[in-house]
């Protein structure tokens, strides 16, 4: 097959700010290029993340999200909260077998922090 994943794309009201926030989370390099409506975050070992301008507000739960696996779950959750992530309840607290934390970035995009490997 000659098909490969080119980018993961996130619609956002502020491409540069959200790209910089995710750079703090994942590392990598931000490239704003010449178009302020499109900012790319190049993350080593992963497909680039493209942040595209979309002025409409987010209104529902994501249909697609990131699962992040840290070495130290609690330390990483605390770091992400300090960076501005917020805890999100989508029903996971009712299940005693859930081993991940659901957070959201500054624009409300949910992502999961899994237990360490």
* Residues 41-90: tens digit of each pLDDT: 999 999 999 999 999 888 888 888 999 999 999 999 999 999 999 999 88
Query: What distances in angstroms separate CA 107 from CA 50, 63, 70, 93, one per listed residue?
Result: 15, 15, 22, 22
Domains of the chain from N-terminus onward: 7-57 (3.30.720.120), 65-117 (3.10.180.10)
The pTM assigned to this predicted structure is: 0.90
pLDDT at 33 over 80: no
Beta pairing partners, 42: 29
């Amino acid at each position: 097959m000659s098909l490969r994943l080119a980018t993961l794309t996130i619609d956002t009201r502020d491409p540069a700010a959200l790209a910089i926030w995710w750079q703090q989370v994942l590392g990598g390099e931000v490239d704003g290029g010449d178009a302020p409506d499109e900012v790319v975050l190049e993350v080593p070992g992963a497909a680039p993340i493209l942040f595209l301008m979309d002025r409409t507000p987010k209104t529902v739960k994501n249909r697609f999200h990131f699962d992040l696996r840290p070495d130290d779950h609690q330390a990483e959750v605390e770091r992400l909260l300090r960076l501005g992530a917020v805890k999100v309840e989508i029903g996971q607290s009712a299940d005693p077998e859930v081993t991940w934390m659901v957070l959201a970035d500054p624009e409300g995009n949910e992502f999961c922090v899994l237990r360490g490997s």
